[in-house]
């Protein structure tokens, strides 16, 4: 009986996740894109706010429990994203209210189980400022200061991240009239540092909320046909995909995104085309990541040092420009890509095409590049074309940026190797535990099987009642333990098969003249 109890306890311990494995984080996302201006304004319609929302939706559904897309895709966008029309809803206030009600219900259920949750809300569209306060445009109604505070910033999540690409976005987050009082004239822009200070004051009341805002008045200058997207959205998605991960820990902090956007725009000379970003992390924990590789269950990754590429970008088969990067010399990257899609890595004169399955990783060294020609057109975007991602981004730029701004930096130890293996969605600890439990099950079934055989042999070889009874009892115990161990091994094997990475695994026999065996080569 003692032996059976000990075996059961060992089996339970083997099935527990390894020490150091973090609890799962449940991520939810809402993406709004509004091209149309409010009817009471004289603003022109935007071209790519719907594309911004669609691109964020493509990104977040790789790891989110649920993502909502609130936008009306125009004809060009429906050609680029043919599968997304069925997921989209009209971005009107009633629809947003229903979505937030569903989200709040999910968050409360997670909260009752003491589970960590993250909410990502993105908006791309028109922002308006008036004597009554600022608001973000919707098809009907709008997002004003009261709605922002009561419905968005107070969501019962562990962290709420608000990303806004709209003119006057920071006006929404300061006390009513504060900007008008301090700027005093409509033709004078309040200094960037002052806008950031006023925004920070509001967030003191919402310590779990962080914001990332494109600061400025003229939203139209921040759309670019070459990207088919807003410049701010493209730069943020490039950062979140891994291009801003300066310390290689698989997590993208607010300061990393802000420094990355700053580097991307450093070479842009025309101030109208420059993107300034207000990045304020949640006050409860300023190092709360905007994105973590641990959220992605089976990430498709492009890794390594992109030698000799300089500024490069990655484009998808539907023409969507997934990310841009210009890393410092020798910087190792780990870039998250959409699995199953054909992608191209392109620089000014080189290109390489490939695709990745879920859980697969490829290195820059493995890519086969060929010569390519890219032609940039359009004098209106000349400043962007010349200066876009001209500055290189990495540890040196980041350290200078945070020191100059007085920001809290992310830890910068030696570059972390194997981020992919340590952050592939929490399955690696389970795989190791299943290996251990499966191996223990096999060993246990063999050992207890041998002991059961010996007990049966003792039972058959005696004619005495008491020794026979004891031998039969041992045979029953060891047979039960052998069967239990075999079930543990089979269950572990089945679970391990379910978590097996979708990557070619080589299985081959080997022999050294005295021993026969099987080798298994794969990535875990």
Of 156-165, 176-185, 411-420, the range with the highest mean pLDDT is 156-165
Could you tell me where the beta strands, DSSP code E, fall in 254-311?
276-280, 289-292, 300-304
Residue 192: the pLDDT is: 57
Q: What is the mean pLDDT of residues 44-67?
A: 94
pLDDT band, very low/low/confident/very high, at 194 (cuts 50, 70, 90): low
Residue 286: the pLDDT is: 87
Structural contact between residues 451 and 7, judged by C-beta atoms closer than 8 angstroms: no
Closest CA to 470 of 260, 461, 133: 461
Residue 54: the pLDDT is: 95
Residue 472: the pLDDT is: 81
Of 314-318, 375-379, 386-390, the range with the highest mean pLDDT is 314-318
* Residue 27 reports pLDDT greater than 90: yes
| Ranges 10-24, 36-50, 154-168, 310-324: which has the least confidence | 10-24
Structural contact between residues 425 and 296, judged by C-beta atoms closer than 8 angstroms: yes
* Residue 55 reports pLDDT greater than 90: yes
Give the residue ranges of DSSP H helices in 317-423.
Answer: 382-387, 395-405, 419-422
Residue 431: the pLDDT is: 67
* Residue 166 reports pLDDT greater than 60: yes
Q: What is the mean pLDDT of residues 29-46?
A: 88
* Residue 197 reports pLDDT greater than 70: no
% pLDDT > 70, the chain: 72
- How far is CA 132 from each of CA 43, 127, 129, rounded to the nearest angstrom? 18, 13, 8
pLDDT band, very low/low/confident/very high, at 507 (cuts 50, 70, 90): very low
Q: What is the mean pLDDT of residues 165-188?
A: 55
Query: What distance in Å separates the CA atoms of residue 465 and residue 322, rounded to the nearest whole number?
Result: 79
Residue 179: the pLDDT is: 39
pLDDT band, very low/low/confident/very high, at 389 (cuts 50, 70, 90): low
Residue 485: the pLDDT is: 81
* Residue 49 reports pLDDT greater than 70: yes
Per domain, the residue ranges of the chain are 2-16+426-521, 22-217
**Burial class (CB within 10 angstroms; exposed 0-12, middle 13-18, buried 19+) of 106:** middle
Residues in the chain, overall count:
524
Residue 295: the pLDDT is: 95
| Ranges 57-61, 482-486, 516-520: which has the least confidence | 516-520
In what helix (H) or strand (E) does residue 239 lie, and over which residues does it extend? none
* Residue 515 reports pLDDT greater than 70: no
Q: What is the mean pLDDT of residues 69-75?
A: 94
* Residue 101 reports pLDDT greater than 90: yes
* Three-state secondary structure call for residue 350: strand
Closest CA to 124 of 56, 44, 201: 56
pLDDT band, very low/low/confident/very high, at 268 (cuts 50, 70, 90): low
% pLDDT > 90, the chain: 38
| Ranges 355-359, 468-472, 504-508: which has the least confidence | 504-508
* Residue 514 reports pLDDT greater than 60: no
More confident residue, 500 or 111: 111
Local structure of residue 384 (DSSP, 8 states): H
More confident residue, 465 or 454: 454
* Residue 69 reports pLDDT greater than 70: yes
Query: What distance in Å separates the CA atoms of residue 103 and residue 108, rounded to the nearest whole number?
Result: 9
- How far is CA 175 from each of CA 144, 160, 170, 248, 300, rounded to the nearest angstrom? 12, 20, 10, 38, 43
Residue 510: the pLDDT is: 46
For 300, other C-beta atoms within 10 Å of its C-beta total 23
| Ranges 134-148, 295-309, 506-520: which has the least confidence | 506-520
First to last CA, the chain: 38
Q: What is the mean pLDDT of residues 212-226?
A: 62
- Can you say how many angstroms the Cα of residue 220 is from the centroid of all Cα atoms in its chain? 28
* Residue 383 reports pLDDT greater than 60: no
State the chain's mean pLDDT as an integer.
79
3-class DSSP string for 22-35: CCCEEEEEEEEECC
């Amino acid at each position: 009986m003692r032996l059976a109890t000990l075996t059961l306890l060992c089996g339970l311990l083997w099935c527990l996740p390894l020490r150091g494995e973090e609890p799962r984080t449940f991520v939810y996302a809402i993406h709004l894109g509004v091209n149309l201006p409010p009817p009471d304004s004289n603003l022109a319609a935007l071209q790519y706010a719907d594309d911004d929302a669609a691109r964020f939706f493509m990104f977040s559904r790789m790891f989110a429990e649920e993502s909502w897309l609130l936008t009306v895709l125009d004809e060009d966008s429906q050609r680029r994203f043919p599968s997304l029309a069925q997921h989209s809803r009209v971005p009107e206030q009633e629809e947003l209210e229903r979505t937030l009600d569903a989200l709040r219900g999910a968050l409360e259920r997670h909260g009752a189980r003491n589970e960590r949750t993250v909410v990502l809300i993105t908006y791309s569209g028109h922002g308006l400022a008036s004597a009554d306060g600022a608001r973000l445009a919707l098809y009907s109604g709008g997002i004003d200061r009261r709605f922002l505070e009561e419905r968005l910033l107070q969501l019962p999540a562990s962290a709420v991240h608000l990303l806004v690409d709209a003119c006057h976005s920071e006006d929404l987050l300061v006390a009513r009239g504060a900007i008008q009082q301090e700027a005093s004239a409509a033709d004078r822009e309040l200094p960037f540092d002052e806008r950031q200070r006023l925004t920070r004051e509001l967030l003191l009341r919402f310590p779990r909320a962080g914001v990332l805002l494109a600061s400025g008045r003229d939203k139209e200058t921040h759309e670019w046909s070459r990207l088919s997207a807003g410049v701010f959205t493209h730069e943020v998605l490039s950062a979140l995909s891994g291009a801003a991960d300066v310390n290689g820990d698989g997590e993208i902090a607010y300061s990393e995104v802000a420094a990355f956007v700053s580097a991307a725009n450093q070479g842009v000379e025309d101030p109208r085309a420059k993107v300034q970003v207000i990045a304020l992390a949640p006050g409860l924990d300023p190092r709360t990541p905007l994105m973590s590789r641990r959220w992605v269950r089976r990430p498709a990754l492009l890794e390594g040092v992109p030698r000799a590429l300089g500024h490069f970008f990655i484009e998808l088969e539907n023409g969507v420009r997934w990310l841009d990067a210009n890393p410092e010399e020798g910087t190792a990257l780990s870039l998250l890509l959409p699995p199953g899609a054909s992608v191209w890595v392109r620089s000014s004169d080189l290109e390489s095409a490939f695709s990745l399955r879920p859980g697969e990783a490829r290195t820059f060294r493995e890519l086969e590049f060929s010569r390519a020609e890219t032609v940039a057109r359009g004098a209106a975007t000349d400043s962007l074309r010349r200066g876009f991602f001209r500055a290189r981004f990495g540890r040196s730029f980041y350290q200078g940026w945070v020191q100059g701004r007085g920001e809290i930096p992310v830890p910068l130890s030696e570059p972390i190797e194997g981020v992919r293996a340590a952050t592939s969605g929490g399955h690696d600890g389970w795989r190791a535990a299943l290996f251990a439990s499966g191996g223990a099950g096999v060993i246990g079934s063999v050992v207890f099987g041998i002991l059961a055989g010996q007990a049966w042999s003792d039972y058959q070889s005696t004619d005495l009642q008491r020794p026979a009874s004891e031998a039969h009892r041992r045979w029953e115990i060891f047979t039960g333990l052998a069967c239990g161990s075999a079930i543990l091994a089979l269950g572990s094997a089945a679970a391990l098969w379910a978590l097996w990475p979708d990557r070619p695994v080589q299985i081959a026999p080997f022999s050294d003249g005295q021993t026969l065996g099987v080798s298994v080569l794969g990535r875990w």
